[in-house]
Structure 1
Amino acid sequence: MTHAKVLMLNESILSTPLAEAGLRLLRMVDTSEPLIPPTLATFASSCGTEDGAWGETVDLDHPRLREEANSLWRRMALHGGLFSEEDSRFLIAVNLSAGESPRWWWAQVQLLDEWDMVDAGAASGVLGHGPFRPSFVMLSLDGGVILRCDLGQASMDFSMVREAHHAPTLLRHGEWMAGSPRVDDVTRAATRRWLSRRHTSNQDSAR
């Protein structure tokens, strides 16, 4: 099956569950684009202040868990620059593989007027593993801002990195992934493209 057919197939499969979260699928992003691969972007939750990162949590026993967690997600997304009030498009990591080994890449989506990331979105299977069990990573259109959500023992944990290409933790993990045979070929190649683009951008800015 060609790459184009794989993307078209995934579009038809993903549109409905993304809509359940309140997201309109706009397009599958071509895997040749030099974006940070989702597998590397998940390490945003391991980033600290030296990476320009920050995080917030919501206790799982919060009496208004859905409202509080969704509200926190939106505040962080707007404040951090994942999207804006004027343009609500961003990227979300989706699994392109129907097999046992996942192949994560980016889909471009738009936030609808009614949405729910942590309950209906997580229950859809695209943004998590069931109601109130969110697990997702999102990226701004320019590739600079990462918003990660995963589940802790007693809380939903949100992590944000504003300038991913300057984050030492992501760069260290990226250098390892780019050369590791334990990483799948698609992710390894994508990591190398991202690192190469980052080095080129730094050289241009130094001139």
Structure 2
Amino acid sequence: MDESRLADSLDEAGLKYLGMVDSTTPLIPPNLAGFANSCPAEGVAGVEYLTSEDPQFLEKANSGWYRLTREGGLFAAGDPEFLLAVNCAEPDEPRVWRWARVSLSDQWDIAGAGAATGILGNGFGHPAFVMLSLDGNAIVRAQQGEKSTEFVLVREPHQVQFFRKLAVQMSRWPDTPEPTRAAIERWLTTTAQ
């Protein structure tokens, strides 16, 4: 992975790259956190839903994301640092997701410029990403649908049975990479109650 290119792309979105999180840190793996939009309603703490045809889509998407993340605990007002799932694989290789630590600058654009970089989406106005609070207690997932965008907030994923059951299933899937299996095991063990 080219970290300088990653830092440049994040800078375009208004995010400062602070480095990769140690892969042995017992956080929920990005592959697992990415299922936040499939979490049953009782595990979801908040949702922002926007239609793609809205003429104020970008403004509403950015303000909705910010409101959801601040109220949901992705970061604190005075310390806007959080984790972002990034693909660390080389081009033409299977995706390898890891957490990168980032901070929000004064000038940011998650849904527009951020999505355009490919790091935070699938093109300008098409946000798609997974974010995690530094303590691992808040996931924010953006998903682009055919005619809508949805931001989903899940609090305390370690207490949501959906994630714990899915983690066990993922660890048994034959196509789950070994680093992801190890990360799942660390997370399950560390957060066992």
The alignment's TM-score, normalised by the length of structure 1, stands at: 0.90
The alignment's TM-score, normalised by the length of structure 2, stands at: 0.96
Mapping of residues 28-177 of structure 1, within 5 Å: 28-98=20-90, 99-177=92-170
The amino acid across from 1:28 in the alignment is M
Query: Which deviations, in whole Å up to 9, do the C-alpha atoms of 1:28-72 show, x marking residues without a partner?
Result: 111111111111001110112322433221111111111000000
Structure 1 stretch 48-57 or stretch 91-100: which is displaced more? 48-57
> Aligned with 2:176: secondary structure?
coil
> Aligned with 2:191: secondary structure?
helix
Q: Percent identity?
A: 45
Normalized per residue, the structure richer in helix is 1
- Any stretches of 5+ residues in structure 2 without a counterpart? none
> Aligned with 1:101: secondary structure?
coil
Structure 1 stretch 14-23 or stretch 127-136: which is displaced more? 127-136
The amino acid across from 1:145 in the alignment is A
- For residues 54 and 197 of structure 1, the distance between their equivalents in structure 2, rounded to whole angstroms, comes to 26
Aligned length: 192
Could you tell me whether the CA contact under 8 Å between 1:93 and 1:104 is conserved in 2? yes
> Aligned with 1:129: secondary structure?
coil
What's the Cα RMSD here?
Answer: 1.1
Q: Which runs of 4+ in 1 moved over 6 A?
A: none
- Any stretches of 5+ residues in structure 1 without a counterpart? 1-8, 203-207
- For residues 13 and 188 of structure 1, the distance between their equivalents in structure 2, rounded to whole angstroms, comes to 28
Structure 1 stretch 150-159 or stretch 104-113: which is displaced more? 150-159
- For residues 168 and 76 of structure 1, the distance between their equivalents in structure 2, rounded to whole angstroms, comes to 22
Could you tell me whether the CA contact under 8 Å between 2:44 and 2:152 is conserved in 1? no
